[in-house]
Chain A
Amino acid sequence: MMFAPAPYLLKDASVSLVMTQVCLALIPGIAAYAWLVGPAILVQLVIASVTAIAAEAAMLKLRGKPLAMFLSDGSAIVTAWLIALTFPPLAPWWLVVTGTLFAIVIAKHLYGGLGQNPFNPAMVAFAACIVSFPALMSQWPSVGLQMPFLDQLNVILGLAPRVDALSGATPLDAMKTALKLAEGQVDIAHLLANQDIYGNFAGRGWEWVAIGYLLGGLWLWQRKLITWHAPLAFIGGMVLISGALWLYQPASFANPLFHLLSGGTLLGAFFIITDPVSGCTTPRGKLIFGFCAGLLAYIIRIFGGFPDGVAFAVLLMNLSAPLIDQLTQPRIFGMKGKQS
């Protein structure tokens, strides 16, 4: 103790405090989700959290790391929650468990644990599962779950048959499929008029979940846990490309607002591309990272085969993050306008 180095005063900050605040910021989105879509999400959150904690504990023990210190950092919970929020709410329990195990064991600990993972673990889980179980991962309730909570629980636990009626597609996916089937005969305005699926701006119910994420994200920004760069650039990228195509052919391409409030756009903008471990860290790097991820997410979601493109866009950008960071090192004090 006697030779502890300065500074002796420390700000009240810790990794667990950071993670707790991220979880808190997810609450508005989760609340809207549980209220408008169905309480099944709460079950999924519990399943994912328990799995993540168990996997984290097992891996820490295997790696000979202090359990209490790392289990309490809360990072596994954040990963678990992001997995639960990106998986279909009525996905069978084992799908969420598989995804979470993949995220914690392979994407996190095999790369060296907290702070060492080159890819966002939740997005790795999503990508791995959508490639392995494309049918199950695409079964989304197109509108709120109109069944009692107990039935929802039974479907998740596999105690009740998976009813076809439950297994629609996301509003985003539904639109893509409808446009494809109609082969240019249907225009978007007509599709959006279907009030069973679509609400005021985007998917019915889902649009409010997205706004919940937006509120949580703004709170994180206000708390200075994230900076504006990546979210704004991500939204900018998404708006730019979707806006351009919408202006070019409004009948076949939905407007930017629809894209902002659909799928994983806002969850991604504030909670996934802001992951500091796997993302860029320099201000300019964050702008590039966010912008490119926004473009890619749109391209994959519209022209690709998957229901949404955020996960793959993020993983692709994770790959490029170290290089972007290296090339965007900011000028230091006293070197303004000079080559550093």
Chain B
Amino acid sequence: MLAKLFKFYGGVKPPSNKTLSNQQPIRPAPLPSRLVVPLHQHIGGTPRPLVQAGDPVLKGQKIGEADGWISAAVHAPTSGTVVEVAMHVRPHVSGLESLCVVIEPDGKDEWITHGPADRAAMSPADICQFLQEHGIVGLGGAGFPTHGKLKATPGVPMAELIINAAECEPYITCDDLLMRERADDVVRGIAVFRDMLQPTQVIIGVEDNKPEAIAAMQKAVEAQGEAFAVVPVPTLYPAGGAKQLIRVLTGKEVPGAMRSTADMGVQVFNVGTAYAAWRAIGHGEPLISRIVTLTGNVRGAGNVEALIGTPMDELLKLAEPNPDTDGIIMGGPMMGFLVPNEHAPIVKTSNCLIAHSERLFPPKAPEMPCIRCGACARACPHELQPFELYWHARAKDFGKTQQYHIFDCIECGCCAYVCPSRIPLVQYFRFAKSEIWAREKEKKAADEAKQRFEFKQFREEREKAEKAEKLAKAAAAQAAKKAAEAAAASEAPATEQPAEAAADPAEAAKKAAIAAAMARAKAQREAAQPKNTDELTPEQAREMAEIEARRQQAGIVPEPADAQPATTETKPE
């Protein structure tokens, strides 16, 4: 269907070790003794707990409310009782804790009432909300809430909807097994995304080391009469990186700084996300379980369907880890991490648990100096110069690291994989990034403090000025009143003033200011209290004008008294 595939630069070919775990069908994992469901499992706002200790919950009952648009609801994975809502360790490299709902299963696994969504009656916005309410997030990587990606960028036609089924990381086979066994539901899920985004074409990219999955998907696509292209892509890590897969399938290169691929008319979803979306739309099931690959230093590697919140150590036991297992890697061996605490629960983004042993993953040789061999640069799929970045990161010259595009690094680990000097390059880049973030934060805080201070100064100045003006106005009003009285008493002294004003420019300016203030004050005063000369009848007005004209002819008054301020550019009233 698609003739041309494109290449991305670099990439590596680590041993895939996938046959270890893709020989067995997916098994359901037994109910664990306790479920620890973190409320924060994805990028974006932390959902707010809806339950408290002692509450009974049913399977699929919402226990966490999405907090904001970039957030998704969290649900009870089984029926039982909430033991506590408290801080527990997260499955995160930091080993920090986050708010979790701890549920003791009652063993009945009793569902709340649920059913398929009535799509005919739903607008796209309704479907987005439905997916958010059912806790659907990206299952491939960072866990971006799916509903947030189901809209084209205004003004950019959606050209390609790409389903990422590359699964390029070694050891992981959960997407492989999902496609082999549940291709129909996957294709239905993709159809939902297609209906939402209306792309010109839909491409399902699968690495060519998964022939069974490719065949199953092709069959399902045909059976449902869809026009989706199932495209085998060459096995080359990291072909499953979103930007790499876009490049391979469409030839488009999404710049590192671009926040959303939709800006280039492409949207990418993980294949597991499509499946989860269909379980929600077609069956009303929220995201409470996922397929997890259990592999590595184990006797019974395979894939299990596990409830979110199952403790990792308990889950890994299903695969019978060998006795020399000394840790658990969550994710793949290229981008995953050794979990600091093995009691941590699996979350929506936990695709793989690898039993770690030194036999399987020998400890790294000591770090040698960089010999600038450039192997890293030839492996980097983003065409960076990792050894230059390393050089500057090591010297803490963070400005230079930004010049060398450190934020385009996707931390895929290709550079560290090939480095003959065994330099943990990714580690250096994470360090540099976090330092830059910390500094930016500090700088932002300092800038804000400065802004606040400057505004305070400005405000004080302004208040002072306003006060002074008020005082001046009051004085001016006083003066004007006196002047008016004086004018009324005798019109003559007014003639002297222009001459005086001309004598001294400084004095003149001062006088002008005073006069202006007087004029304003008078205007205000007049606005406040109508003068008896207002609302004259035409006859009276004519009479006055005639009197005025006679006076001027007689030379009694050169100009009307009121016109005095005219010399100071204030318009006569």
Measuring CB to CB, which residues of chain A are less than 8 angstroms from any residue of chain B?
1-11, 13-15, 17-18, 66, 69-70, 73, 75, 113-116, 224-225, 227, 276-277, 281-282, 329-336, 338, 340
CB distance from A324 to the nearest CB of B (A): 13
B427 to chain A: which residues have CB within 8 Å? 5
CB distance from B290 to the nearest CB of A (A): 21
CB distance from B440 to the nearest CB of A (A): 21
Does B418 contact A11, Cβ atoms closer than 8 Å? Answer: yes
> How distant is the Cα of A205 from the Cα of B560 in the complex, in angstroms?
120
> How distant is the Cα of A139 from the Cα of B369 in the complex, in angstroms?
38
Does B255 contact A335, Cβ atoms closer than 8 Å? Answer: yes
Q: Which of A69, A70, A281, A282 is the most central at the interface, judged by chain B CB atoms within 10 Å of its CB?
A: A281
> How distant is the Cα of A287 from the Cα of B368 in the complex, in angstroms?
28
CB distance from B91 to the nearest CB of A (A): 15
A282 to chain B: which residues have CB within 8 Å? 377, 385
B375 to chain A: which residues have CB within 8 Å? 13
Known contacts being A11-B14, A114-B369, A282-B385, is A333 close to B420, with CB within 8 Å? no
> How distant is the Cα of A340 from the Cα of B405 in the complex, in angstroms?
9
Tell me the interface secondary structure of chain A in the complex. loop
> How distant is the Cα of A8 from the Cα of B404 in the complex, in angstroms?
26
CB distance from B238 to the nearest CB of A (A): 11
> How distant is the Cα of A66 from the Cα of B327 in the complex, in angstroms?
30
> How distant is the Cα of A249 from the Cα of B12 in the complex, in angstroms?
51
> How distant is the Cα of A3 from the Cα of B338 in the complex, in angstroms?
6
Does A69 contact B368, Cβ atoms closer than 8 Å? Answer: yes
CB distance from B418 to the nearest CB of A (A): 5
B356 to chain A: which residues have CB within 8 Å? 8
Does B335 contact A6, Cβ atoms closer than 8 Å? Answer: yes
Does A115 contact B370, Cβ atoms closer than 8 Å? Answer: yes
Known contacts being A9-B14, A9-B333, is A333 close to B382, with CB within 8 Å? yes
Tell me the interface secondary structure of chain B in the complex. loop
Which one, A66, A115, A334, A335, contacts B243 given CB within 8 A? A334
Does B408 contact A13, Cβ atoms closer than 8 Å? Answer: no
CB distance from A340 to the nearest CB of B (A): 7
Which one, A10, A70, A333, contacts B256 given CB within 8 A? A333
Closest residue of chain B to A279, judged by CB?
B372
Q: Which of A66, A75, A335 is the most central at the interface, judged by chain B CB atoms within 10 Å of its CB?
A: A335
> How distant is the Cα of A6 from the Cα of B327 in the complex, in angstroms?
13
Does B382 contact A7, Cβ atoms closer than 8 Å? Answer: no
Is B387 part of the binding interface, using a Cβ–Cβ cutoff of 8 Å? yes
Does B381 contact A333, Cβ atoms closer than 8 Å? Answer: yes
> How distant is the Cα of A113 from the Cα of B363 in the complex, in angstroms?
25
B337 to chain A: which residues have CB within 8 Å? 5-6
> How distant is the Cα of A4 from the Cα of B426 in the complex, in angstroms?
11
> How distant is the Cα of A17 from the Cα of B419 in the complex, in angstroms?
12
Known contacts being A1-B363, A7-B416, A15-B420, is A332 close to B408, with CB within 8 Å? yes
Closest residue of chain B to A331, judged by CB?
B383
A335 to chain B: which residues have CB within 8 Å? 253, 255
Residues facing A in B1-59 (CB within 8 A) are 8-9, 12, 14-15
Does B417 contact A11, Cβ atoms closer than 8 Å? Answer: yes
Known contacts being A6-B335, A8-B329, A334-B255, is A276 close to B413, with CB within 8 Å? no
